[in-house]
Structure 1
Amino acid sequence: MNIETKYHGLIEIHKEEILHFINGIPGFKEEKEFVLLPLPENDWFYVLQSTKTAELGFVVTDPFLFFEDYDFTLNPSTVDQLEDPSEKNIKVLSILTVREPLHKTTTNLQAPIVINLANSKAKQIILNDTSYETKHLVFEQPQHQGQGE
């Protein structure tokens, strides 16, 4: 099937590549099917693209690449909705807010996307009892060279 995308133009996707968000994504409840597209020449960032709405694509990343200590527990209802995935079949992504300059880019660690790779079911969860926030800097701030800069 062909879909129009925000960053890749018109592309062909296969049915088995579609991620199914049973309840949609918070703020986009009607958007239930997405596909994960790589960004060209980049192994760290992807686009979570709606299959229905071309303008709806989120830049995402694996948060563990930038935050090694990132940790949370899935609640039982999420485990049920994802159909009890094994730990090896879980993929976690976080949505980025890309800013210029790039070192001001942030990621939302309070609302990760959890995917069961075994059945392509996905859910964005909200972590309530946590110190994680919606805007964590992804890249370290550049170090100033010398004084007066």
Structure 2
Amino acid sequence: MKIQSARFGIIEINDQSIISFDGGLPGLEGLEKYAIIRCDQTDPIQWLQSVDNQDVSIPIINPFLLKPDYEIEIDDSELDLIQTHSEEDLVVLCIMVIPDDLTKMTINLMAPLLVNIRKMIGAQIMMDYITLPISEPAFDALIEYYKKEGEVAADAGSVEKSK
């Protein structure tokens, strides 16, 4: 199927890759169908594109890439929402905020998205029983990720001092 995206133009989506969020996401109730868009220019940041609203594309990332020691605590009722208790079926993603000043980008570690990749069902959960930041700075961790992947120079993101 083809969908229109304000960010990406017309994109081809495999029907089997559409993720259903029952009731939508907080603040986006009613928008229940999304596709994950991979973009070479922003990798490893991906985009959760609404199938129903071309203007809604949310930056997301695998939190373990930026914070390898990230841990989530979810209970059975939250896993019931996505109809799996199998780790093999589970993908964890976190929403990012990317302002014009990229050095101020953040990642929401408190409310991850859980996706059952076998049934393509997702839910955002609020882990309010542990202390994690909603707005964890992400720029430095992303630069470190790029350095490890060999995609940026060691001084990327630094400010050149005038003489």
TM > 0.5 fold call: yes
Computed over aligned residues only, the root mean square deviation of the Cα atoms, in angstroms, reads 1.9
Whether 1:48 and 2:48 are equivalent positions in the alignment is: yes
The Cα shift of 1:80 comes to: 1.1
Supply the AA of the counterpart residue of 1:83.
Q
| Separation of aligned partners in 2, 1:138 and 1:81 | 28
Supply the AA of the counterpart residue of 2:126.
I
Q: What percent of counterpart residues are identical?
A: 26
Identify unmatched segments of 5+ residues in structure 2.
Answer: 142-156
**3-state SS of 2:64 partner:** helix
Identify unmatched segments of 5+ residues in structure 1.
Answer: none
The Cα shift of 1:144 comes to: 7.7
Aligned to 1:66: 66
Task: Check the 8 A contact 2:48/2:60 in 1, yes or no.
Answer: yes
Task: Check the 8 A contact 2:110/2:128 in 1, yes or no.
Answer: yes
| Separation of aligned partners in 1, 2:159 and 2:41 | 29
**Residues 70-129 of structure 1, C-alpha deviations (whole Å, 9 max, x = no match):** 111222211112112411221111111102332211011111101011110100111111
C-alpha spacing 1:107/1:4, structure 2 compared with 1 (3 Å): same
Supply the AA of the counterpart residue of 2:63.
P
Aligned to 2:27: 27
The Cα shift of 1:45 comes to: 0.8
C-alpha spacing 1:4/1:69, structure 2 compared with 1 (3 Å): same
More displaced stretch, 92-101 vs 56-65 = 92-101
The Cα shift of 1:42 comes to: 4.2
Tell me the TM-score normalized by structure 2.
0.82
Higher helix share: 2
Aligned to 2:145: none
| Separation of aligned partners in 2, 1:38 and 1:67 | 20
Task: Check the 8 A contact 2:76/2:85 in 1, yes or no.
Answer: no
